[in-house]
Structure 1
Amino acid sequence: MNSKNKVGILTYHTGYNYGASLQAYALSTVINKMGISCEIINFETARFLASREMFSRSPRRLKEFIKIITRVPYLTQLKKRQALFDCYTNKHLPISKLYREESDVIKNASIYDCIICGSDQIWNLSQNDAPAANLLFYLNFPKKQKRVSYAASFGKWVKEAPKYRDVIVPLLKNFDAVSVREHSGVEFLNSVGVDACITLDPTLLLDKEDYDLICQKRLIEHPYVLLFSWSCGNEVVTAAKKIANILKLPLINITPPPRALFSRITRKLDVGPCEFLSLIKYADFVVTDSFHGTAFSTNFEKSFVSIVSDNTPDPRMKSLLDQLQLSDHLVNTAEIDLEKISKTDFEIVRNKKTVLRKASLEFLENALAEFRKDK
């Protein structure tokens, strides 16, 4: 890649996670559509690599042994799943050479005219629920290029962030343009003197036609209901079974055990990001409690429900569905109304999404205007 107008994206783009992989694809695609050269800075520490393994090579805790034992019957599928993720990353993401150490990224940062800290919980520094946690995602090195964040997130760690303001605020004030994906992030940043706005998750900036370019062919020939939930809690599993029973369709779960271990739901686990898109695109109905399960159900204009657990809706899902006039799709099991959902007018959704995208795309265009190839 020519060093002129070179933009680097620093985000979570691996981890065998559909949302992380596809948001990286979406952001890089949008930037390329703007006529700007970009690549994803391929940073992955050994600690993060170990955390994402399908089978832990060095199990220490009981739950790690349980994970291994319950996944043995799916060994072949899970190996293929990992290979599909790796193939997707190499084929569809414009990645740089691999960096295992923070110091190597810092040493090579000067090749970029701009670095974008991309969407995901990259600013969550909790060592408990963020195995990739690293101050590098705050760009903790001397500034030699423009710095932008797009839909970055602190996650729940935003409540702890004020305790670390002396460390992170000076770094955040080095950014030239800041956007995050949650109101809580804006509130914290504004409280410490950092101007910030909210932008859409990158996966919502593209149309289904954009995803068709990488979407795998139909994988399951017969009609089916798709369950996509990382937690596979009782509420979402019960809802999925209820809907599949009403529709008289088989139910497919793509989350590995030990989640939903005794649910007796058929699993299909040889699923990478391109296969994930296919399973949503061709599903007769999608049941999810995941933000990206919700986002892609709206992108492909599917009949779906986003399940609320413990009467506490995910704030990102609630905000998105409210804005798309789809709030009746965010329900608990007792509130499911398939007749009403079947009458969803997706033309209204498309129009709402166009309006929502405008501000997010304007933020990116303004932040990166100087790097367009036609400048």
Structure 2
Amino acid sequence: MKVSVITLHRVRNYGSSLQTLATQSLLEMYGADVEIIDYYPERYTSLGLLKRLKHKSSKLEKNIILLTGARMIMCLSYAKKKIVFDSFLKKYIKLSPETYRTPQEIKKYPLKSDAYCTGSDQVWNSHWNEGIDTPFYLDFVPKTEYKFSFASSIGSDSLNDKEKKAVKKMLSEYRHISVRELQGVKILQEIGIDSTNVLDPTLCFNMDFWKKYSSDIYSGKKYILTYNLHHDKRIDNLAGKIAEKLGCKVYNISYNIHDIVRSGTLKWCPSLEDYLGLIKNARCVITDSFHATAFSLIFHTDFFVLYPEEASSRLRSILKLTCLENRGSEKF
């Protein structure tokens, strides 16, 4: 049975890449011949970067030095991420033969499968996707075909009226829907769509599975690890206090080279194997990241979550599901 999966595999971050691998592996474990639809919209490409640079540059036009520096930093970060994450895709992910840049291209050159799946991660987050990105709702698949979702995420606490109408129409064609957050179940219930709450696919595999993909170069080192997606100073402050108490170093995973100025040692866009290894071998992980939390759970690594001001539902959901709500807080 061939299953074509659409997910956020081209978003260059650790969670998106590793959940793609987990979804692919899980479906294969149940006997499916899996193909990840290589949907690669402009916002993930170098052209999308140039447009973002132009937008950000308008705020710095009067300061040539700052403008040049900002452009160099963004280009360096993009280049490093492209090398790291494209290498991972090439090594582990089974992509469709065709790459699709637009929703129109997928409709023009349709895939042939026995079933079609909307995968995990924030595939239904309109803010993240710069609006409702219809391929993630399988609008290119005929109504008569088998459509389902697995651990998909809306990634926000609500839908506006426009989103409710469009989402209800597209998801009503699915045979089965599962979502990653309890809040997602409630949101879909409000528009008459039944769904099931399930774990993120990364959590469907145990430590032994993920050890196969993790490095051991940090084994035996004493450090506190931060992965600070929202640039929250509270995370750095808490990590520093814990490190001082335990006599550890602080390692900071970041995509941005300018984070070298933060206290601690910068681990600039490490490979995915090293990302897993850093979490596996840390004395404690301090984060606002869903997947850093998930892998801390998998590797039995002590962790603490500082909830971001917005879009914290998925973090709260995973801690509630695992009865570890005392490991998260809005305050420090």
What TM-score, normalized by structure 1, do the two folds share? 0.77
Q: CA deviation at 1:199?
A: 1.2
Corresponding residue SS for 1:277: helix
Q: CA deviation at 1:95?
A: 1.2
- What code does the residue aligned with 1:49 have? T
Distance 1:57 1:153, change over 3 A: closer
Q: Would you say the 8 A contact 1:48–1:131 is kept in 2?
A: no
Q: Would you say the 8 A contact 2:225–2:282 is kept in 1?
A: yes
Alignment correspondent of 1:146: 146
Q: CA deviation at 1:252?
A: 1.1
Alignment correspondent of 1:112: 113
Matched, 1:39 2:35: yes
* Equivalent of residue 61 in structure 1, options 53, 56, 60: 56
Q: CA deviation at 1:258?
A: 7.8
* Equivalent of residue 20 in structure 1, options 16, 19, 42: 16
Q: Would you say the 8 A contact 1:6–1:37 is kept in 2?
A: yes
Distance 1:38 1:153, change over 3 A: same
Distance in 1 separating the partners of 2:311 and 2:174? 32
Alignment correspondent of 2:96: 96
Cα offsets for 1:144-191 (capped at 9, x unmatched): 42000112122227331x333333322111100011122332223223
- What code does the residue aligned with 1:60 have? H
Q: CA deviation at 1:72?
A: 4.8
Cα offsets for 1:84-104 (capped at 9, x unmatched): 211101111111132212223
Structure 1, gaps ≥5 residues long = 335-375
Distance in 2 separating the partners of 1:68 and 1:293? 33
Cα offsets for 1:209-248 (capped at 9, x unmatched): 1112222332576322111111121211111111111112
Alignment of 1:108-257 (within 5 A): 108-126=109-127, 129-131=128-130, 133-141=132-140, 142-156=142-156, 158-160=158-160, 162-219=161-218, 222-257=221-256
Distance in 2 separating the partners of 1:6 and 1:333? 47
Distance in 2 separating the partners of 1:169 and 1:324? 30
- What code does the residue aligned with 1:93 have? I
Cα offsets for 1:54-80 (capped at 9, x unmatched): x87843324986697268579878744
Q: Would you say the 8 A contact 2:9–2:20 is kept in 1?
A: yes
Alignment correspondent of 1:365: none
Matched, 1:314 2:312: yes
- What code does the residue aligned with 1:269 have? W
Matched, 1:8 2:4: yes
Corresponding residue SS for 2:251: strand
Cα offsets for 1:296-353 (capped at 9, x unmatched): 000011121112356x89332223223323222224665xxxxxxxxxxxxxxxxxxx
- What code does the residue aligned with 1:247 have? L
Q: Would you say the 8 A contact 2:73–2:258 is kept in 1?
A: no
Q: Would you say the 8 A contact 1:71–1:258 is kept in 2?
A: no
Question: For the aligned residues, what is the CA RMSD?
Answer: 3.0
Corresponding residue SS for 1:59: helix
Q: Would you say the 8 A contact 2:236–2:263 is kept in 1?
A: no
Cα offsets for 1:17-54 (capped at 9, x unmatched): 1111111111110111111111110101122324875x
Alignment correspondent of 1:85: 85
Distance in 2 separating the partners of 1:226 and 1:7? 37
- What code does the residue aligned with 1:99 have? Y
Q: Would you say the 8 A contact 1:67–1:258 is kept in 2?
A: no
Q: Percent identity?
A: 28
Distance in 2 separating the partners of 1:81 and 1:292? 17
Distance 1:259 1:239, change over 3 A: farther
Structure 2, gaps ≥5 residues long = 61-65
Distance 1:232 1:165, change over 3 A: closer
Q: Would you say the 8 A contact 2:256–2:269 is kept in 1?
A: no
- What code does the residue aligned with 2:292 have? G
- What code does the residue aligned with 1:95 have? L
- What code does the residue aligned with 2:18 have? L
Distance in 1 separating the partners of 2:131 and 2:271? 21
Alignment correspondent of 2:303: 304
Q: Would you say the 8 A contact 2:181–2:317 is kept in 1?
A: no
- What code does the residue aligned with 1:318 have? R
Q: Would you say the 8 A contact 1:51–1:131 is kept in 2?
A: no
Q: Would you say the 8 A contact 2:10–2:44 is kept in 1?
A: no
- What code does the residue aligned with 2:189 have? N
Distance in 2 separating the partners of 1:18 and 1:287? 16
What TM-score, normalized by structure 2, do the two folds share? 0.86
Distance in 1 separating the partners of 2:191 and 2:119? 21
